[in-house]
Amino acid sequence: MEETQMATTEPIRNPTHVHALLSHFKKNGQQRNYVLATLGIYTALRISDILNLRISDVFDLKTRKVKNEISITEIKTSKRKKLALHKKIKSALKLFLSNATVDAPLIINERTGKAISRVQAHRIISYAAVEVQIPYKVSCHSLRKTFGYFAWKNGTFPVILMAIFNHSSFRITTRYLGIQQDDQNAVYTNLRI
């Protein structure tokens, strides 16, 4: 399945597009969808893991504070994963959960009281990408890939990304990053010895 998704979705490589996607949700008062996209971009979690999060996973209902880190068991791999929350996530969660009083799914469908479906999450992300005129196919999986692409561009070693993504091979990780010829050419032209 990972191979198929990698072939059909790309990371969002342009920072302007990333900001436009997130701003789209904020401008339209779609705080839940903003949290969904922010979590996807800044945690590299699979959409199934994001949709499995509960309020108590990210927010302490007693102290009324967003947690600094979370610990989950990945659905696909059954592996435990611990990760620190980026300040953009913490800011989004603080606003989103300011009135939370009970534990519930974090990305909730208000009509059913359950987490939204993967299909609904896909529609939310892909529709917003069209609205902000991202010129290629964007899905929930693109958010995870966007994390990897920008982490790599910021100097994170691919082997660390391989561990973050729980990939079984380095080849999968390099395909995941969506490295294009322009990225390769930049290595040749920017080399300093």
pLDDT of residue 73: 95
Give dist(CA 169, CA 60) in Å, integer.
37
Is residue 175 scored above 90 in pLDDT?
Answer: no
How would residue 168 be classed by pLDDT, with cut points 50, 70 and 90?
confident
What pLDDT does 94 receive?
A: 96
- Which residues form the catalytic set? 46, 76, 141, 144, 167, 176
pLDDT at 48: 97
Residues 6+ apart with CB under 8 A from 173: 148, 158, 161, 162, 165, 167
173 within some domain: no
Confidence of residue 183 (pLDDT cuts 50, 70, 90): confident
Find the mean pLDDT for residues 20-36. 97
Percent residues over pLDDT 70 in the chain: 95
For the chain, the domain total comes to: 1
In this prediction, what percent of the chain has a pLDDT beyond 90? 75
Predicted structure pTM score = 0.89
CATH at 82? 1.10.443.10
Burial 112-122 (b: 16+ CB within 10 A, else e): eeebbeeeebe
Q: What is the span of the domain harbouring residue 42?
A: 2-142
Residue 150 lies in a domain: no
More confident residue, 183 or 27: 27
Q: Which helix (H) or strand (E) holds 93?
A: helix 87-96
Domain presence at residue 190: no
Q: Is residue 70 part of a domain?
A: yes
| pLDDT tens digits, one per residue of 62-90 | 999 999 999 999 999 999 999 999 999 99
**Quick check: is 175 in a domain?**
no
Q: Quote the tokens at residue 38.
A: 């922010």
Residue 157 lies in a domain: no
Q: What number is the average pLDDT over the span 148-172?
A: 89
- Distance CA(145)–CA(159), nearest Å, equals 15
**DSSP category for residue 108:** B
Two tokens, residue 61: 């209902």
Q: What is the mean pLDDT of the chain?
A: 91
pLDDT value at residue 142: 96
Q: What is the mean pLDDT of residues 34-50?
A: 97
